Amino acid sequence: MTDLTPSAKRKQARLIDLAAYLPEKILSNDELASLYPEWPAEKIYSKTGIKIRHIAAEHETAADLAYEAAMALFARGVVKPDDVDFIILCTQAPDYILPTTACVLQNRLGIPRHTGALDINLGCSGFVYGLSLAKGLIETGAARCVLLLTADTYSKYIHPLDKSVRTLFGDAAAATAIVAEDSDFESIGPFVFGTDGSGAKNLIVEAGSFRRPVDSESSVEQIDESGNVRTAENLYMNGAEVMTFSLKEVPKAVDVLLEKTGYTREDIDFFVLHQANKFMLEALRKKLKVSDLKLPICVENCGNTVSSTIPLALIQMRERGQFIPGVKMMLVGFGVGYSWAACLLKF
Amino acid sequence: MSKFYEGMAEIFEIDLSEVKPELDLQTAVWDSLAIVSTIALVDDCFNIMLDGKSLGSCVTLADVEKLIEAGKKG
């Protein structure tokens, strides 16, 4: 029977801890500059804001990175493997076509068998989507402790001579714990979502799945007008189109979410955007008309780590002491799909 | 145009005095990064979104300025 007494509190989802893992191997700007002489190391840094990227080892998969991030989370002692009753893994580099990588991780991580587990295939918007699923599971009473893992190894898709993407992307994983709390305080949400599949071709690994299986033609190298080399099996990004999409859709999503919440830009303490690179974040910051203090840029030591950029930024902000009661953040993920999502996160 | 010219000087890492309509974009390195940066700059200065393909086929800065003028009208 439903408890309708005035004191009954709702189950609210709350983000209680985060941890991350960056693979050991490092790719520096000096190394990239030696491959692309027209882009000196200083230019790469000044434009992208990135000094180094971490790169997964040859036999290290996104699931391995997710495993390490989850172990780092458990080592912090806030959440134990036994607490988890749902695993969401966001990745675009699964271990297998089947089974689901999240199921494999349940066993590796020693998480109980009464746990639900699923993969979601999203890129840079994935963390915010993962939070929305975690909130839904918790606030409908379906789960009490969701382990949200974000992990990707785009480096494995990138041609070594494609500077347009190799300078930007790094590999990483993050583990986020979202738990049920009896409270009247909505910590996560509301959300806004967006999708425009007409942009699919602008950020894509075309060959290697069923629409275009790998064959002798898919591995033929092509050189584009900027001198970048890639095959159809590699990651392709049309930077101009992705920039245009981001400048159009991110400010709109921010405005729609502000309208939904009744807050103004001034009420939001931090706009934690997907950490694509410095020039995109600065362009968005100008368009959003917010100060640089309110829009953190956390790419220097990891680059664009796809679905892990927002949790990595949150970890840096926690280290700076910015997780204080009352703080209001807006998280905005956007990219491959095109897919985007924004939500509020309050402490 | 001054804010736009200052931005272009920054993108090409050249002196502001070198930024003029007849500037040859290829000489100044008109690569994917410069095009992406120009899209953001034009949006910031004029609230106009240029597309990468049209920008990619520009030869001089005057061609970029023509796209901006067309964007203002369109």
- Mark whether A248 and A143 lie in a shared domain: no
- Mark whether A117 and A202 lie in a shared domain: no
Q: Which helix (H) or strand (E) holds B54?
A: helix B52-56
Grade residue A227 by pLDDT with cuts at 50, 70 and 90: confident
pLDDT for position A5: 53
The answer to whether B10 contacts chain A (CB < 8 Å) is no
Domain assignment present for residue A1? The answer is: no
pLDDT for position A125: 98
B32 Cα to chain A: minimum distance (Å): 6
Average predicted confidence (pLDDT) for chain A: 95
- Mark whether A95 and A67 lie in a shared domain: yes
Task: Give B-chain residues touching A39 at CB under 8 angstroms.
Answer: 33
Average pLDDT over residues A203-208: 97
- Mark whether A147 and A276 lie in a shared domain: no
Average pLDDT over residues A127-139: 98
Q: Domain range for residue A85? A: 11-184
pLDDT for position A222: 96
Report CB contact under 8 Å: B36, A240: yes
Domain assignment present for residue A334? The answer is: yes
pLDDT for position A199: 97
Q: Over the Cα atoms of chain A, what is R_g?
A: 20
Q: Which residues of A are the active-site residues?
A: 124, 274, 304
What separation in angstroms does the CA of A317 have from each of A9, A54, A94, A186, A223?
A: 30, 20, 29, 21, 40
pLDDT in tens, A35-71: 888 889 999 999 999 999 999 999 999 999 999 999 9
Quickly tell me which residue has 């068998």 as its tokens: A113
Closest CA to A233 of A258, A211, A214, A252: A214
- What is residue B20's DSSP assignment? S
Average pLDDT over residues A300-314: 98
Out of A130, A155, A184, pick the residue that ends a domain: A184
- Mark whether A121 and A212 lie in a shared domain: no
Out of A118, A152, A184, pick the residue that ends a domain: A184
Task: Give B-chain residues touching A164 at CB under 8 angstroms.
Answer: 32-33
Domain count, chain A: 2
Out of A184, A210, A226, pick the residue that ends a domain: A184
Angle at A148 between CA A137 and CA A139, to 5 degrees: 20
pLDDT for position A1: 47
Q: Supply the ipTM of this predicted assembly.
A: 0.83
Are residues B31 and A44 in contact, defined by beta-carbon separation less than 8 angstroms?
Answer: no
Report CB contact under 8 Å: B51, A239: no
- Mark whether A32 and A125 lie in a shared domain: yes
B 39-68 residues with CB below 8 A of A?
Answer: 39-40, 43-44, 49, 51-53, 55-56
Q: Over the Cα atoms of chain B, what is R_g?
A: 11
pLDDT in tens, B4-55: 999 999 899 899 999 999 999 988 888 888 999 999 999 989 999 998 889 9
Task: Give A-chain residues touching B33 at CB under 8 angstroms.
Answer: 39, 47, 164, 239, 279
- Mark whether A92 and A239 lie in a shared domain: no
Are residues A88 and A133 in contact, defined by beta-carbon separation less than 8 angstroms?
Answer: yes
- Mark whether A85 and A136 lie in a shared domain: yes
**Of A80-94, A140-154, A323-337, B27-41, minimum mean pLDDT range:** B27-41
Q: Report phi then psi at A273, rounded to 5.
A: -90, 160
pLDDT at A331 > cutoff 60: yes
Are residues A311 and A176 in contact, defined by beta-carbon separation less than 8 angstroms?
Answer: yes
pLDDT at A3 > cutoff 70: no
Angle at B25 between CA B24 and CA B28, to 5 degrees: 95
- Mark whether A195 and A329 lie in a shared domain: yes
Percent of chain A topping pLDDT 90: 93
Average pLDDT over residues A132-148: 97
Domain assignment present for residue A5? The answer is: no
Are residues A166 and A44 in contact, defined by beta-carbon separation less than 8 angstroms?
Answer: no
Q: What is the pTM of this model?
A: 0.93
Grade residue A277 by pLDDT with cuts at 50, 70 and 90: very high
Are residues A61 and A35 in contact, defined by beta-carbon separation less than 8 angstroms?
Answer: no
Grade residue B1 by pLDDT with cuts at 50, 70 and 90: low
B38 → chain A, closest CA residue: A240
pLDDT at A6 > cutoff 80: no
Domains and CATH numbers, chain B: 2-73 (1.10.1200.10)
- Mark whether A66 and A180 lie in a shared domain: yes
Report CB contact under 8 Å: A226, B13: no
Closest CA to A332 of A286, A270, A282, A287: A270
pLDDT at A156 > cutoff 60: yes
- Mark whether A32 and A166 lie in a shared domain: yes
Bridge partners of A26, per DSSP, are A54
- The CATH code of the domain that includes A43 is 3.40.47.10
Report CB contact under 8 Å: B40, A280: yes
A243 Cα to chain B: minimum distance (Å): 7
B3 CB-contact burial (10 Å; exposed 0-12 / middle 13-18 / buried 19+): exposed
Domain assignment present for residue A66? The answer is: yes
Domain assignment present for residue A216? The answer is: yes
B52 Cα to chain A: minimum distance (Å): 5
- Mark whether A136 and A29 lie in a shared domain: yes
Report CB contact under 8 Å: B51, A43: no
pLDDT for position B26: 85
- Between B27 and A145, where is the model more confident? A145
